Amino acid sequence: MSNAKSQRISIRDLAAMTAKGQKWSMITSYDAVTAQIFDEAGAPVLLVGDSAGNNFLGEENTIPVTLDEMVILSRAVVRGSKSALVVADLPFGTYESSAKKALASATRLFKEAKVQAVKLEGGNKVIPQIKKLIDSGIPVMGHLGLTPQSVHALGGFKVQGRGEGAAAIIKDAKALEKAGVFAIVLELIPAELAQEIADELTIPVIGIGAGVGCDAQVLVWTDLMGITSNPPKFAKAYRDLRNEMSSALKEWMTDVSTGNFPSEAQTFH
C-alpha cells in the first residue's frame, strides 16, 4: 500500500497566486510525452482540452470528441505529470442534458483518468451541472465567450461579447463564480471586457484571446510550439517545431538512403 501524498498544485495554490497578483499559465496536453515535458518545465496546470479534436485526433473541431477518448488522453497526461494540476474537458454531449449525466461523465474522468478537475462550457444553463459536480467533490473550471462546442450556434469562431453581448458574459461569469467554479476561461472576447470581469471576480480568470488583463493565460500547445498550420490570431508561436520536425525527418531519411544511418555509434557487434 502506498501512502504517497499528492505533490500536485491545488486549486487553492492557484487562488493564492491570483490573490497575490501572480499571473500563471495553463497549457494544453493530450499525451504523456508532452505532459512530462511541460510538467518538468513548471507548468502549474495542464489542460486536457477537447481541442485534442482538431489538434491531435485530426477532427475538424472539438464536437466529435468522445468521453472514451478524453479518458484515454487524460489518463496519459496524469501519468506523464507529477506536479501540475490536470484539468480535463467534458466533451460535447456528455453534460448538457442533466446534472446526473454531468456527474456520471466527470466521475469517469475522476476515477479512470484520475484528473483533479474538469472544465465545461457555458453559463447560466449549466449551473445545475456545476453545483452537482462541486457538491460531489469535483472541482470545476468554467468556460465563457467563444465556446467551441457551440461553434455552429455562434456562427463560427468569432469574437464574442462585443456590444450588447458583453452584459450576458458578465452575468454568466458572476453566476459561475457564485456556483463555485474555481476558475473561468474567457475565450475570444474584447480585452476591456475580460479586464472588467477579472477585476470584478475573486476567482482566477484565464484568458485566451482575451487580452493581458486576465489573471492567467492558456494556449494550445501545438500553437505555442509552431506546429499548427493555420493558428488563430490570438496564438503566438514561440518556436517553429513544424519545420524543425520536418527537416529532422528529411535529414534522417537522406542518411538512410545514402547509407549514413546507422553509423558505428548506433551499431552493435
Hey, which residues are catalytic here? 187
User: In angstroms, what is the minimal distance from the CB of 144 to ligand KIV?
Assistant: 11
Residue 47 in contact with ligand KIV, rule: CB under 6 A:
yes
CB closer to ligand KIV out of 201 and 206: 206
CB closer to ligand KIV out of 57 and 241: 57
Residue 51 in contact with ligand KIV, rule: CB under 6 A:
yes
Q: Which single residue is written with the C-alpha cell 467533490?
A: 137
Size of the site for ligand KIV (CB under 6 A): 12
User: In angstroms, what is the minimal distance from the CB of 218 to ligand KIV?
Assistant: 5
The window from 42-50, 75-83, 161-169, 258-266 that contacts ligand KIV (CB under 6 A) reads: 42-50
**CA 11 to CA 196: how far, in whole Å?**
23
**CA 123 to CA 126: how far, in whole Å?**
6
Residue 223 in contact with ligand KIV, rule: CB under 6 A:
no
User: In angstroms, what is the minimal distance from the CB of 3 to ligand KIV?
Assistant: 34
Residue 49 in contact with ligand KIV, rule: CB under 6 A:
yes
CB closer to ligand KIV out of 47 and 227: 47
CB closer to ligand KIV out of 20 and 233: 233
CB closer to ligand KIV out of 179 and 220: 220
The window from 30-38, 44-52, 108-116, 164-172 that contacts ligand KIV (CB under 6 A) reads: 44-52
Residue 224 in contact with ligand KIV, rule: CB under 6 A:
no
Residues that bind ligand KIV (CB under 6 A): 28, 47, 49-51, 89, 143, 185, 187, 208, 218, 220
